[in-house]
Structure 1
Amino acid sequence: MKKDIDFSPVKDVHVVIGKSDEGWRVFIINRNKSKLENVMVTSRGYGETKTEKQKTSILRHMIPYIEPGMYALIEPIDESVFHLNNEYWVSYFIDGQVYDKKFIFVPDSIVEENLIFIEELGMSGILHD
Structure 2
Amino acid sequence: MRKDIEFPEVKDIHIAAVKEWDEAFLNQSWNIYLINNSKLTMEVTIVVSRGSKDDQKTATLRHGLGILEPKTFRKVEFITEEVLPFKNEFLLSFFANGKLYDRMFVFEPYSIKDENLDEIPLLEHQGILSN
- Do the two structures share a fold, i.e. TM-score over 0.5? yes
Amino acid aligned to 1:6 = E
Aligned residue pair count = 125
Q: 1:30 aligns with which of 29, 36, 41?
A: 36
Q: 1:124 aligns with which of 114, 123, 126?
A: 126
Q: Offset at 1:119?
A: 4.2
Deviant stretches of 4+, over 4 Å: none
Q: Structure 1: how far apart are the matches of 2:116 and 2:11?
A: 22
Q: Offset at 1:120?
A: 1.7
**Are 1:16 and 2:22 counterparts?**
no
Q: 1:44 aligns with which of 41, 45, 50?
A: 50
Q: Which runs of 5+ in 2 are unaligned?
A: 23-28
TM-score (norm 2): 0.91
| Cα shift readout 1:6-44 (whole Å, capped 9, x = no counterpart) | 011111100000001121100000011121111111000
CA contact (8 A) 2:37 2:121 kept: no
RMSD: 1.0
TM-score (norm 1): 0.93
Q: Specify the SS of the correspondent of 1:21.
A: strand
**Are 1:83 and 2:102 counterparts?**
no
Q: Specify the SS of the correspondent of 1:63.
A: strand
For residue 63 of structure 1, what is the aligned residue in structure 2?
Answer: 65
Q: Which runs of 5+ in 1 are unaligned?
A: none
